[in-house]
Structure 1
Amino acid sequence: MACMWVMAQLPMAVQWWLGQGIGNLAHLTMAQRRRITEINIRLCFPELSTDEQAKLVRQTFRSNGIGLMEVGTAWFRKPESLRKYTQVHGYEHVEAALKKGKGVLLLGGHYSTLDLGGSLISLFIEADVMQRDHNNPLVNAIMTRSREQRYGVALGRHDLRGLFRRLQANRIVWYAPDQDYGRRGSVFAPFFGVPAASITATGRIAARTGCAVVPFSHFRRKGSVGYDIHFRPALAGFPSGDDLDDATRINTVIEQEVRTHPDQYLWMHRRFKTRPDPSEVNPYKQPKAKDEQ
């Protein structure tokens, strides 16, 4: 934590440079995460050549290395110091959604700018956040304190009652459903053309509360130090009442955002580990050696 605090005080250009170095080192040493990333890139970008896929894997590690540096910046540095680096687009969509008085579910994704993106949006809106608690109590305490200083309330990812209360109070709640949480409560909707276990909770939350679902994303600029936050129009006609259609729509929205900066997505997560057919082999499962068969 002390090292993260020190690193957070460095100029952003230096942080980016160091982060890329961390990413390069991780690419060389973290064989399991590299393998997961390679599998995801191969599944989601079959149109790329082998060399292009390998390049995207390396870029992904560099982006996530910068993201690691940005965690310290998000936790230990005041967002106001980063205003000059930040530009927001589509804020009018948030304003329009709030006027309906039913709350706003900010539909985010697991981009490598995850924590810093949250810190930056606090410059423009006041929002609560749903989070998965960290396994380390000290890290979790620092993370939660930081987020509640910059947002509003940090809700546990299973705290649906708290989420409903915040939406009923016409609050904005940041929500990212783009991970594999298993078969329970999920349908298999395409993500980059691959069937992926996708939770149905997003549509059910919107149906119960009447909240607006506003997609948003946050990415680093290419070529110069800076960040862009994009708010999109609230999803019209959502939910549809069909869990698969709703999950497909959510995945499509997130995919469209990811394609604008594919290296800045968390491809190290085993997004496709749960398969529609339980007998289907997990794509991340290592084949047994011949002498073990």
Structure 2
Amino acid sequence: MRKRPKVSATKPPSPVHKIQNLVIRGLLGVVLALPYRTRVRTMGWICAHVIGPAVGWRKRIRKNLALVCPDMPAAEVKRLERAVANNVGRTLIEIYSGAEFKDHVRGTPLAGPGLEPFLAARAGGRPVVLVTAHLGNFDSLRATLFHEGHGLGALYRPMKNAAFNDHYVRALTQIGAPLFPADRKGITGFVRHLADGGIIGILTDVYSMRGADVTFFGQPAPTAVSACDWAVKFDALVIPCYGIRRPDGLNFDIHLEAPIPPGDPVEMTQAINDNLEGWVRRHMDQWFWIHRRWKPERKRAVPTES
């Protein structure tokens, strides 16, 4: 007798995830009801003074700074504990503001030494890899490029809370599409979009267990070389780019750096890290120091990732 094929069912959300989803959705709903500028400031304050201390962001920030900036004055560390969380809150509610956020950044000029090479590549149908980071608001860059007629494919990491993830992806889609989840099927589509002559945007400032042995802030920071591998394979231009928050906390400067010279993917990845480090040092309060970027206690089994 033939066995019936197993039917995969969607795993129902756990009670904890249900509660998390209700709380987060409720908070976002209240803040989103405020006028745009007020909601951005309010969410920044909430994350700096309520959420950050409650979920351990301040401890993570102190730990990361102690590792890579051990001589930083205590007063500056204290300032960054609040300022970094404030930027996280602002970024989150801006993303969830969707169309309002897009309208707000409309007209933001693209600038920097990478702009002309970028426009030349697009005019010639050459694929482009835009490498960015959790600095300022990375989606200000994406929204601005869409306004300028430069649609790009973006990769996102699905959240463990499925109910909240669905809501999050809908918010990201309002800013622009296509979006690809960071799973096997999604990455295949993401790479195909590049191979077909498109633009992709990818955040490179995350720890990768199988990443290359490169550094960031002078410390080992295993980083995936996938973006550079793809660029070499498809002759794509690689441009570091950032959406830096202005002093008013509401608007942005979009900067495209000079392209990374093609070559060995590991060397290209190190150049990307070095470029980002320079920008982070100039805007310490805008990088997501809440990330576990270095993980010095973790042993890696595989040396490289492609």
| TMscore range, shorter length | 0.7 to 0.9
Q: Give the distance between the partners of 2:279 and 2:192, measured in 1 at CA.
A: 29
2:222 corresponds to which residue?
197
**Structure 2-normalised TM-score?**
0.78
Provide structure 1 residue ranges, at least 5 long, that are not aligned to the other structure: 280-293
Instruction: For 2:31, give the aligned amino acid.
Output: M
Q: CA deviation at 1:278?
A: 5.9
Q: Give the distance between the partners of 2:144 and 2:265, measured in 1 at CA.
A: 34
CA shift in 2, pair 1:126/1:82, >3 Å = same
CA shift in 2, pair 1:275/1:99, >3 Å = farther
Q: CA deviation at 1:247?
A: 2.4
| Contact 1:45–1:53 (Cα < 8 Å) also in 2 | no
CA deviation map 1:7-58 (0-9, x unaligned):
335334312331232112234323x322111111222323422222222222
For the residue of structure 2 that corresponds to 1:223, the secondary structure is coil
Q: CA deviation at 1:179?
A: 0.4
For the residue of structure 2 that corresponds to 1:111, the secondary structure is coil
Q: Give the distance between the partners of 1:11 and 1:166, measured in 2 at CA.
A: 37
1:39 corresponds to which residue?
63
| Contact 2:136–2:286 (Cα < 8 Å) also in 1 | yes
How do 1:24-35 residues align onto structure 2 when only pairs under 5 Å count? 24-30=49-55, 32-35=56-59
Mean CA deviation greater in 55-64 or 86-95: 86-95
For the residue of structure 1 that corresponds to 2:223, the secondary structure is strand
1:138 corresponds to which residue?
163
1:58 corresponds to which residue?
82
Question: RMSD of the TM alignment (CA)?
Answer: 2.6
Q: CA deviation at 1:190?
A: 1.4
CA shift in 2, pair 1:263/1:207, >3 Å = same
Instruction: For 2:271, give the aligned amino acid.
Output: R
Residue of structure 2 aligned with 1:257, choices 276, 279, 286: 279
| Contact 1:104–1:172 (Cα < 8 Å) also in 2 | yes
* Number of residue pairs matched by the alignment: 271
Q: Give the distance between the partners of 2:249 and 2:172, measured in 1 at CA.
A: 27
Q: Give the distance between the partners of 2:248 and 2:103, measured in 1 at CA.
A: 23
| Contact 2:136–2:245 (Cα < 8 Å) also in 1 | no
CA deviation map 1:205-256 (0-9, x unaligned):
11211111111101211036311111122212x2x2262x222112112212
CA shift in 2, pair 1:69/1:206, >3 Å = same
**Structure 1-normalised TM-score?**
0.81
Residue of structure 2 aligned with 1:227, choices 239, 252, 255: 252
CA shift in 2, pair 1:81/1:224, >3 Å = closer
Instruction: For 2:287, give the aligned amino acid.
Output: Y
Q: Give the distance between the partners of 1:212 and 1:99, measured in 2 at CA.
A: 13
Which runs of structure 1 show a deviation greater than 4 angstroms over 4 or more consecutive aligned residues? 274-279
CA shift in 2, pair 1:8/1:118, >3 Å = farther
| 1:161 matched to 2:181 | no
1:118 corresponds to which residue?
142
2:103 corresponds to which residue?
80
CA shift in 2, pair 1:16/1:248, >3 Å = same
CA shift in 2, pair 1:276/1:8, >3 Å = closer
| Contact 1:5–1:72 (Cα < 8 Å) also in 2 | no
CA shift in 2, pair 1:200/1:274, >3 Å = farther
CA shift in 2, pair 1:4/1:27, >3 Å = closer
Q: Percent of aligned positions with the same letter in both sequences?
A: 23
1:286 corresponds to which residue?
none
CA shift in 2, pair 1:105/1:53, >3 Å = same
1:172 corresponds to which residue?
199
1:95 corresponds to which residue?
119
| Contact 1:196–1:275 (Cα < 8 Å) also in 2 | no
| Contact 2:126–2:197 (Cα < 8 Å) also in 1 | yes
For the residue of structure 1 that corresponds to 2:173, the secondary structure is helix
For the residue of structure 2 that corresponds to 1:130, the secondary structure is strand
Instruction: For 2:280, give the aligned amino acid.
Output: V
Q: Give the distance between the partners of 1:211 and 1:278, measured in 2 at CA.
A: 30
